[in-house]
Amino acid sequence: MSGNSLGRIFTVTTFGESHGRALGCVVDGCPPGMELSEADIQTDLNRRRPGRNRHTTQRDEPDQVKILSGIFENKTTGTPIGLLVENMDQRSKDYGDIKDKFRPGHADYAYQQKYGIRDYRGGGRSSARETTMRVAAGAIAKKYLKERLNIEVRGYLSQLGPIELDAKDLSTVDDNAFFCADPSRIDDLDKFMDELREQGDSIGAKITVIVSNMPSGLGEPVFDKLEADIAHGLMSINAVKGVELGAGFASIVQRGSEHRDEMSAEGFSKNDAGGTLGGISSGQDLLVSLALKPTSSVSVPGKTIDKKGKDTEIVTQGRHDPCVGLRATPIAEAMVALVIMDHYLRNRAQNADVSSETPGI
Amino acid sequence: MSGNSLGRIFTVTTFGESHGRALGCVVDGCPPGMELSEADIQTDLNRRRPGRNRHTTQRDEPDQVKILSGIFENKTTGTPIGLLVENMDQRSKDYGDIKDKFRPGHADYAYQQKYGIRDYRGGGRSSARETTMRVAAGAIAKKYLKERLNIEVRGYLSQLGPIELDAKDLSTVDDNAFFCADPSRIDDLDKFMDELREQGDSIGAKITVIVSNMPSGLGEPVFDKLEADIAHGLMSINAVKGVELGAGFASIVQRGSEHRDEMSAEGFSKNDAGGTLGGISSGQDLLVSLALKPTSSVSVPGKTIDKKGKDTEIVTQGRHDPCVGLRATPIAEAMVALVIMDHYLRNRAQNADVSSETPGI
Amino acid sequence: MSGNSLGRIFTVTTFGESHGRALGCVVDGCPPGMELSEADIQTDLNRRRPGRNRHTTQRDEPDQVKILSGIFENKTTGTPIGLLVENMDQRSKDYGDIKDKFRPGHADYAYQQKYGIRDYRGGGRSSARETTMRVAAGAIAKKYLKERLNIEVRGYLSQLGPIELDAKDLSTVDDNAFFCADPSRIDDLDKFMDELREQGDSIGAKITVIVSNMPSGLGEPVFDKLEADIAHGLMSINAVKGVELGAGFASIVQRGSEHRDEMSAEGFSKNDAGGTLGGISSGQDLLVSLALKPTSSVSVPGKTIDKKGKDTEIVTQGRHDPCVGLRATPIAEAMVALVIMDHYLRNRAQNADVSSETPGI
Amino acid sequence: MSGNSLGRIFTVTTFGESHGRALGCVVDGCPPGMELSEADIQTDLNRRRPGRNRHTTQRDEPDQVKILSGIFENKTTGTPIGLLVENMDQRSKDYGDIKDKFRPGHADYAYQQKYGIRDYRGGGRSSARETTMRVAAGAIAKKYLKERLNIEVRGYLSQLGPIELDAKDLSTVDDNAFFCADPSRIDDLDKFMDELREQGDSIGAKITVIVSNMPSGLGEPVFDKLEADIAHGLMSINAVKGVELGAGFASIVQRGSEHRDEMSAEGFSKNDAGGTLGGISSGQDLLVSLALKPTSSVSVPGKTIDKKGKDTEIVTQGRHDPCVGLRATPIAEAMVALVIMDHYLRNRAQNADVSSETPGI
C-alpha cells in the first residue's frame, strides 16, 4: 500500500536507503524447482553498478548480493527469496547543504511535506540506489522467462540528448558503457559525455526495451492491460517522464489504415501496436520506450528554499551521474521482466487449461 | 487480479459487454457523508456519450445511470456504491464477418488466444463502451476532490492528427464537440474530420489533462509513484499508446540546468516536472498527456486471418468513431481523478497526522 | 480495502442494502469455458431464501438472480460476471424506533460511530440479506469445483441450541428446513423452534462443512494458510462467533501422540487435523465448524441508548429469524467454496507445473 | 499472493527458514515520526525466544534483531522498515529420518506435494521459527497503538491441557514461563509439564488475548470484519485449530435475550459480543481465544510413509516444545496487534473526518 511492493503473484517488496545499512528485497511467489545462485543475480547487478566507467558516479559499491532464504540445494523452493546488498561506500558524514535546503528537481521537498521527516543522506530512499533491488529481483524473473519460456528481455540506449541511436546489433549492448546497440556511435557518445562533464551539466536519454518470443495471452484486458502495468513499472523508475508502446506518440499523426498491423498466416505485417492488442500480448515482440529526464544534480547553482521556507541557493555537491539514462537499461529490463513474469503467472492462474482453435501466428 | 478493479482504497470494479444487458460498476471506499445523486454522475456520462455530434459513432445510447446502493438520503454512507447503465441500442443481430474473422488492430485475436472463447458482438468487453463506467466512477471522485479539496481535473484535446492545439481557454472545452480549448480552431477540426470521414479513414490524437490546486504529499515514492499510477490508469484506456508527464519525451534533449524547476518562497519557477518530485506531488499543477492511436475500424479493406488461421480480408462495418480521441477527454479526466482520489486516501491512511515545519510553496 | 471484496484471483465484490433497490456482485477471474446459467445459481439462492418455512423470517423475496455480463452462448468468457437480485418486499416505510435508537447486539451503533451516517432501513448493509450475493457467487465456485475437480462442499446443522446433531446422512440435508443430516431428529427441532417462537426469543447454532475429494497442495503456508482464509471467510458471516478446524477446541486437551494423524500408503489413520498440514491441504477431507450466536432481534424489551446517547428501551419489531443458524448452511458452504476456488487458482499460478515424486495418499 | 505478506496498509512481509541464514521481514506503511529502536523490538522477541525455561525447546537462539532501514535519527520515516535476525544455532548437519520420511502431523508431506521440493532442515519455512518475525513486526504495531492511542494488547495462557486458568492478574503474565495470569497455579503447571516431558508427549493449550481501550469504528463491515481479519491472523499461526470471539462457541446454546449486550450511557452491560458489532469495533474490550493443538513432535514412534510413498515408522528427534502453546502468547498478541494497527489505518483512510452525533459509551 505504501508502494514498496510490486506485482500480484510474483511479488517484489524492497527496502533500504542510500546511506543506510543495506538494501534488500523479498521476492515472493517464484515457482519452485528453478536453479538459482547468487551469481545469477550478480551478473545483472554488475551491469547496473556505479563506477563502471568515467561517465557515471564514482561511488564505489561492490553491490554483492546475498540470498538469505528461499533456496535449497541451489533450487527455488517456492518460499520467499530474501536478498540483501550491504552498503559499503557511504563516504562523508558531512551532508552539507542538503540537510537544511531542498535540491531543486529532487525529491527532498516532497518527502518533507509528505512525511514531515526525511533521511537526507544521499537522498535516502529516493536515491537511485533503490533501483539495485529492482535489478536483483528482475534477474530472477529474467532467468525464469528465458529458461522456461525462451522469452528474452533486452534493452538499449536509443537516444542520448540529441544523439539518436539505432538497434544495429543488440548483441553488442554489453560491450560498451552506454548500453548502445550501435558500435559505430560509441566515440560520439564518449565525446558528448566528456563535454557535458566539463560543463558540469547533465542530459536526458531514451531507452528502448524489446521482448522477443512473447507468448500470446498475457495481460488483463481492462485496467491491468499488459502495457498499463508496464507503463506503471517503467514510470516508477526514478527520472522517467514518459513511456510509449509501439508507434507511441507517433501514432497521433497516423491514420487507421496506416497504423493497424495486418495479419496473415505468416504473422503480422509490421509492429506499430508494439506487441499487444486490447491490452493482451499478441505474440509479437513487445516494443516499449521510456524518456529519462536529465538529473537535477548539476554543479550549476540553483535557486531554492530552506527548511523554513526562506529563499536560498544550492550547488549539488558529491558524486552523481551526469546522465541517469546511462545506467538505466538494466533497470528498465528488470521492470519489464517483472511485469511479464507476474502476468505470465496471472494468466496461468485463470487460463491454465485454455486451448484456442486458432493456431498462433 | 483479472484486472477489472482499480485502486487500493477508493476502488472501482467494472463489468459489462458492448452488446450485453448492461454495464455496471462498484465504487468501494468512498468516504461517507458526501451528497451524491444520479444527476452528478450523468453530467460526465453525457460528455462521453456517443452520438453527440456527426464526428462520433451514431450508436444511440442514453447511458442513463442508476445508483443501486451506497446512498441514503442523498448522501454516501461509506458502503459500496453500485452503478448500472443498461444497453439500449445493441442494434443488428447480424455480426457478419467479425464472428469468424479477426479485425486487424483490434482485440479479437488476442481475446481468442487468451480465453479460447470471445463475445464478438461489438467487441464484447474490449469495446470502448467499457469506458462508460470509468467515467461514472470518475465523476464521484471528481466531485469529492472538488468539494472537499478544491482539486480540479480538466482535460482538453491538445492534438488531432497534425493539428496541434493550445490550452487557450479551458472554460470553452465543453462548448464544442472536440473538447478543444481553442475556439478559433473549431472550424479547422470540423473540416479535417469531414474529409477524413469521406475517406473512410481514422486519425490519432493527443489529450492533455491538467490538475490544479493539487496538495503536496500524494504518491508513494517507490513503485507506486503518483505518475506511475497515473500512467497505469491512462495506459489502460483503449487505444492509448503513450503517456508523458511535464516535459515528458522532450526532456530527453534537455540539460539538467534547464529541466529542473527552481523553487522560491513564491513557488516554482516553471513546471517541467509536471507536478511531482520523487513520485510525490509537489503542489504544482499536474500535467499529463496521452497519445491515442487511430481506431483500426476503417472502411479500407485489410488483410487478416479467420478462426482457423487461414488468410482472408475484412472490412469493418458498423458504427465507429473515426477518432477515438474525440471522446477520450472525459475518460482521461476520470482516470486521473480516480488515481488522485485513491492516493489522497492512501496518503491519509499513513500520514494523516503529519505536520511539516516547511510551509507549502 | 473497504472490505466488500473477497479473494485474490477468483474475486467477489458485493454491494447492496436490505431495503435498497438491489443486491449485486461482480465475480471476477472465473476461468473461461464453463457452462453457466441463471438456474445454476438460483438453486443455491433458493436454499438460502427467506420464507421457506415457518421458522424463518416471513419476508417474501423471490431472490431471482440475473446474470448481466461475463457469459456468452451459455459459457463463461473469462470477463467479470455481474449478478443482480432486485429487492421486492421492502415492506413498511415506517421504521419506527430503529431510526433513532440502537438495537442492542446489532450493528447499528457501530455503523453510526464509524460512518456518522447509517441506512437504518432493515439494517441496511448489515442485514443478513447481504449474504444473498455470497451464496450466488459461491454457486459459481461450487459448480467449477464439482465439474472440473470433483470437489464437493457440503454443510449441515450440527447443533441447534442444546440439541447436538450427527451427520447421519448428508444426502438428506436438503429434505428439511433445518439442513439437518439426521432425519430422526426433525421433530425435535420443530418442537424446539416452536417453543422458542412462542417465547419470542432466539437461539444459537453450529454448522459443520465437509469438503470431500480435496486435492493436496492448496493453501499458502504462512499468513494465508488454507484454514486462515477459511476462518476469515466464515468469521465474516453475520453472527459467527467462532471457527474451528478438525479437532478444533477439543485439541486443547489432546496429547500429541493422540492428535497427530498417522499416515500409510492407504491414507491417513483419522482426521483430527481437519484436512490441512502446515496450512496446506493434505488431500484429506476438510472439516470445519462455525458457531453462530442467537440473533439479537427478540421481542423481549432491551435497554439501549438513542442517537443522542440517552438511556432508553427498545423492542425489535418486524420479521426476523429466531435462529440465524437455520439459513446459514448454504452461506457457510458458499464461503468455503469461494476460498477453495481462489486457492485452487492461486496454487496453479505458482505451481502449475510441479510434480512430486511422492504419490498422493 | 504466496501468502508471506499480511495487511493492507500496515503490511508485513516475512522470509526465512529454520536452518537458513536468517529470518527477516519488511514492515511497510508505518506512520512516520514514531521513535523506534532495536530494543523496542527486542523486548517482545525475548518473550518469545526459545530456551527461556526447561519446558521449551533447548535450541539457543539469541534472536538479536537488526533494523536495516526505515529509521532516521531514531524515528520512523515512513519508508519500509527492514528487520533481520540471523540464525545462530542451526546445530546438527545430520537431519536423519526427516529427509526421507514425512513426520505425521507436520507440514512435510503437504510441502512436498505442493512444491515438489522442500527444505527439510528443521522444517524449513514451516518451522515455528517463522513466528519470530511476526513478533518483531507486532512489536512495532504494539508500540504505535500504545503510544498514540493508548490501546493495550495483552495475552495469557487460559488453558493448558485440562488445566483451566483465569485472568487473575494480567500484570503477572511476564513473571512466569507460562504467560499465566494466575500466580497461584504456576506449581500445577510446572508439575504437569514435568510429567509430560517424562512421557515424551505433548499437550494442547488455549490462549486468550484482551485488547483494552479500543476505539469504536475499526473493521470493515462485510468480508473484512474486524473479527474475520483477527481470525485469519490467529488461524495463520502454526498449530492453531480454532478461534472464537467473546462468548464464542458457548453462544451456540445461548438465547438472544441472554447473549445480547445491553447498552446505556454508562456503557455495555457485559461483553458476550467480544468487542465488535457487525464486524466493527464497538469500543468494548476485544476478547479473543485460540486453541492450539499439541505439537506432533513427540518421542513416541508413529506410522508414516517415506518419499516414495512406502509405509514406515518415525520417531521425531531433536529439540522441540512439548507445548507450543507455552510460547504462543507473544505471537498471538502480535497478530492481534498487527490486525488492529492495519484496521486503524484502513479506517482512517476512508473515515478520517467522520464525526458522529452520538457520544461514545
Q: Point out the residue among C8, C33, C346 whose CB comes nearest to the CB of A354.
A: C33
Cβ separation of D79 and A26 shorter than 8 Å?
no
Average pLDDT, chain B: 95
**Residues forming beta bridges with residue D280, ordered by sequence position:** D277
**C-beta atoms surrounding C191 within 10 Å:** 11
Span B69-92, average pLDDT: 92
Q: How far apart are CA B238 and CA B133, in angstroms?
A: 13
Task: Give C37's DSSP letter.
Answer: -
CA nearest to D304, candidates D104, D152, D50? D104
This complex has an ipTM of 0.97
User: What string of H, E and C letters represents the secondary structure of D5-44?
Assistant: EECCCCEEEEEECCCCCEEEEEEECCCCCCECCHHHHHHH
Which of the four pLDDT bands, split at 50, 70 and 90, describes residue A102?
Answer: very high
β-strand partners of C72: C75
Maximum separation of any 2 CA atoms in chain B, in Å:
68
pLDDT of residue B212: 98
Chain A residues within 8 angstroms (CB to CB) of chain C: 8-9, 29-33, 78-79, 221, 345-346, 348-354
Task: Give domain status of residue C255, yes or no.
Answer: yes
Q: Is the predicted pLDDT of residue B58 greater than 80, yes or no?
A: no
Longest dimension (CA), chain C: 68
Among A233-237, D309-313, D315-319, where is mean pLDDT lowest? D315-319
Number of domains in chain D: 1
Q: Is pLDDT of C33 > 90?
A: yes
Instruction: Please check whether residue A41 is in contact with residue A61, taking contact to mean a CB–CB distance below 8 angstroms.
Output: no
The amino acid that residue C136 corresponds to is A
pLDDT at C97 over 90: no
pLDDT at C318 exceeding the cut of 70: no
User: Chain-wide mean pLDDT for chain C?
Assistant: 95
| Inter-chain residue contact C106 with D278, CB threshold 8 Å | yes
**In contact, D322 and D295? CB cutoff 8 Å:** yes
| pLDDT greater at residue B50 or residue D6 | D6
Mean pLDDT score, D197-214: 96
Asked, for residue A107, whether it belongs to a domain, the answer is yes
- CB atoms D350 and B345 under 8 Å: yes
C-alpha separations of A357 from A220, B113, C301 in Å: 21, 8, 67
- Banded model confidence at residue A98, pLDDT cuts 50, 70, 90: confident
Mutation site, A5, A12, A28, A69, interface D, largest D CB count within 10 A: A69
Phi first, then psi: give them for residue A314, nearest 5 degrees.
Answer: -145, 145
pLDDT category of residue D281 using cuts at 50, 70 and 90: very high
D partners (3+ CB pairs within 8 A) are A, B, C
Top mean-pLDDT range of A14-18, C51-55, D324-328: A14-18
D143 within some domain: yes
Q: Is the pLDDT of residue B40 over 70?
A: yes
Segment D294-306 mean pLDDT: 91
**CA D129/CA D86 separation, integer angstroms:** 11
| Count of CB atoms situated within 10 Å of the CB of B117 | 19
| Cα–Cα distance for residue pair D96/B3, rounded to 1 Å | 47
Residues of D in contact with A115 (CB under 8 A): 32-33, 77-78
DSSP classification of residue D249 = G
Q: What is the pLDDT of residue A61?
A: 85
Given D126, D220, D248, which is nearest C241 (Cβ)?
D248
pLDDT band for position B94 (cuts 50, 70, 90)? low
**For residue D37, what is the domain's CATH number?**
3.60.150.10
Mutation target to probe the B interface, by most B beta carbons within 10 A, among D9, D147, D350, D351 is D350
- Residue A356 within any structural domain of the chain: no
- CB nearest to A349's CB, from C9, C353, C354: C9
Which pLDDT score, from 0 to 100, does residue A57 have? 76
Q: 472554460: which residue's cell?
A: B171
Q: Check if the beta carbon of residue B314 is closer than 8 Å to that of residue B301.
A: yes
- Asked if D29 and B353 come within 8 Å (Cβ–Cβ), the reply is no
Least confident range of C160-164, C217-221, C315-319, D183-187: C315-319
Alpha-carbon distance of D9 to C197, in angstroms, equals: 45
Nearest Cα residue in chain B from C121: B72
Instruction: Name every chain C residue with its beta carbon within 8 A of the beta carbon of D217.
Output: 110, 113-114
CA gap C106, C316 in Å, rounded: 10
A235, B243 in Cβ contact below 8 A? yes
- Domain assignment present for C321: yes
DSSP string covering A16-77: E-TTSSEEEEEEE-PPTT-B--HHHHHHHHHHH-TTSSTTS--------EEE-SSEETTEE-
Q: What is the pLDDT of residue C94?
A: 67
Task: Give the pLDDT mean for D97-112.
Answer: 94
pLDDT at C311 exceeding the cut of 70:
yes
Give the confidence band of D316 by pLDDT, cuts at 50, 70, 90.
confident
Tens-digit pLDDT profile for residues A23-36: 999 999 999 999 99
Q: Provide, rounded to the nearest whole percent, the portion of chain C with pLDDT above 90.
A: 87
CB contact under 8 A, A31 and C350: yes
- Say whether C125 and B79 touch across the interface (CB within 8 A): yes
Quote the radius of gyration of chain B (alpha carbons, Å). Answer: 21
CB A340 within 8 A of CB A211: yes
Choose from A294-298, B313-317, B351-355 the range with maximum mean pLDDT: B351-355
Residue at C358 is within a domain: no
Q: Does the structure show a pLDDT above 70 at C85?
A: yes
Q: Determine the 3-state secondary structure of C323 from DSSP.
A: coil
CB–CB contact A4 B222 (8 Å)? yes
Å between A342 CA and nearest CA of chain C: 9
- Whether residue C151 lies inside any domain: the answer is yes
CA D263 – CA C13 distance, rounded (Å): 33
Contact call for B297 and A248, based on CB within 8 A = no
pLDDT tens track for B193-206: 999 999 999 999 99
- Please provide the average confidence, as pLDDT, over all residues in chain A: 95
Helix (H) or strand (E) holding D211: strand D205-212
Give contacts of C5 with chain B, Cβ < 8 Å: 5, 11, 13, 28
Residues of C in Cβ contact (< 8 Å) with D220: 1-4
3-state helix/strand/coil string of chain B:
CCCCEECCCCEEEEEECCCCCEEEEEEECCCCCCECCHHHHHHHHHHHCCCCCCCCCCCCCCCCEEECCCEECCEECCCCEEEEEECCCCCCCCCHHHHCECCCCCCHHHHHHHHCCCCCHHHHHHCHHHHHHHHHHHHHHHHHHHHHHCCEEEEEEEEECCEECCCCCHHHHHHCCCCCCCHHHHHHHHHHHHHHHHHCCCECEEEEEEEECCCECCCCCCCCCHHHHHHHHHHCCCCEEEEEECCHHHHHHCEHHHHCCCEECCEECCCCCCCEECCEEECCCEEEEEEECCCCCCCCCEEEEECCCCEEEECCCCCCCCCHHHHHHHHHHHHHHHHHHHHHHHHHHHHCCCCCCCCCC
Q: What is the pLDDT of residues C135-159, one digit of tens each?
A: 999 999 999 999 999 999 999 999 9
Distance in angstroms (rounded) separating the CA atoms of residues C66 and A260 = 38
Residues forming a β-bridge with B11: B28
- Note whether D351 contacts B31, CB cutoff 8 Å: yes
Range of the domain at A242: 5-351
Distance CA B222, CA A126 (A): 8
Please give the sequence-ordered ranges of beta strands (E in DSSP) within A135-234, or none if there are none.
Answer: 152-160, 163-164, 205-212
**pLDDT, tens digit (0-9, with 9 covering 90-100), for A34-54:** 999 999 999 999 998 876 677
From residue D338, how far is each of A5, A273, D342 by CA, in Å?
18, 46, 6
Among A17, A22, A79, select the one facing D17 at the smallest CB separation.
Answer: A79
pLDDT band at C92 (very low <50, low <70, confident <90, very high): low
| Spatial distance between the Cα atoms of B165 and B207, rounded to a whole number of angstroms | 10
Task: Using CB atoms, pick whichever of C78, C79, C352 lies closest to residue A348.
Answer: C352
Q: What is the pLDDT of residues B98-124, one digit of tens each?
A: 899 999 999 999 999 999 999 999 899
What is the distance between the alpha carbons of residues D202 and A234, in angstroms, rounded to a whole number? 54
Mode of pairing for the β-strands spanning A205-212 and D205-212:
unpaired
The verdict on a CB contact (< 8 Å) between A5 and D11 is: yes
State yes or no: pLDDT of D39 exceeds 70. Answer: yes
C-chain residues near B82 (CB < 8 A): 15-16, 22, 24
CB-CB contact of A337 with A138 (8 Å):
yes
Q: Quick check: is D359 in a domain? A: no
Distance CA D188, CA B243 (A): 70
Inter-chain touch A349–C351, beta carbons under 8 Å: no
Give the model confidence (pLDDT) of A124-133 as tens digits: 999 999 999 9
Grid cell listed for A194: 566528456
Q: Which of B152-161, C269-278, C299-308, D242-251 has the lowest mean pLDDT?
A: C299-308
| pLDDT value of residue D86 | 96
Q: Which three cell numbers stand for residue B118?
A: 470471445
pLDDT score, position C96: 75
Give yes or no for residue C317 having a pLDDT over 80: no
Question: Residue A319: is its pLDDT beyond 70?
Answer: no
Handedness of CA D278, D279, D281, D287 (dihedral sign): positive
| pLDDT of amino acid D19 | 93
Give residue for cell 558503457.
A177
Residues in C closer than 8 angstroms to D249, CB to CB, are: 206, 241-242, 244, 249, 291
Q: What local confidence, expressed as pLDDT, does residue C54 receive?
A: 78
**H helices of C174-326, where?**
186-199, 226-235, 256-259
